[in-house]
Amino acid sequence: MDIQYKQIICLNGHQLTDGADWNKPVTGYCKKCGKKLIDSCPNCHSVIRGYYYADGFVVLGRHSVSVPKYCETCGKPFPWTETSIKALENLLTLSQLDQQEQNELKEAIPDLVSDTPKTKLAAYKWKKFGKPILDVAKDILVGIATEATIKTIYPN
């Protein structure tokens, strides 16, 4: 029998497991940061899908399912994605960048987080205008952007 498991993730985006029993309610808090653990989208309550066990397939070293950035049902960013986006926006506000540059970079953030036709452009904008804050922003960006985007912004 095939089995769909769910993920348990804390509000900061730490994944406890991607192999939790679908029907077992989640309780408790993250061991790393103390935030509440969730197994579904706070907005639409869709369960966050984890590992899918397909009966009959031999799995050598099973792949783990990564923490999603957006809900696949309602499209809203998960709390951990929202926190990172807010942190980047705050960094922009605190920076010496002029208002227009701040707005350009702010608008580009959603395209950094997910893969869109504008992702490359967004990465290029950040590399070009975001220079003064790229050092501080690195940890946040590495947590939310794709690998290709990170390589564009931080080539070395």
Query: What character string, x for contact with Zn ion (CB under 5 A) and - otherwise, covers 41-60?
Result: x-xx-x--------------
Nearer to Zn ion, 43 or 146 (CB): 43
- Among 71, 97, 133, 141, interactor with Zn ion by CB under 5 A: 71
65: its two tokens: 């399912």
Per DSSP, the three-state class of 125 is helix
Q: Does residue number 10 form part of the binding site for Zn ion (CB under 5 A)? A: yes
Stretch that binds Zn ion, among 10-18, 77-85, 120-128, 147-155 (CB under 5 A): 10-18
Of 120, 125, 123, 118, nearest to 142 by C-alpha is 123
DSSP symbol at 68: P
Beta bridge partners of 36: 29
Count helices and strands in the chain by DSSP H and E runs: 5, 4
Residues in contact with Zn ion, counted by CB under 5 A, come to a total of 14
Site residues for Zn ion per CB under 5 A: 10, 12, 14, 30, 32-33, 35, 41, 43-44, 46, 71, 73-74
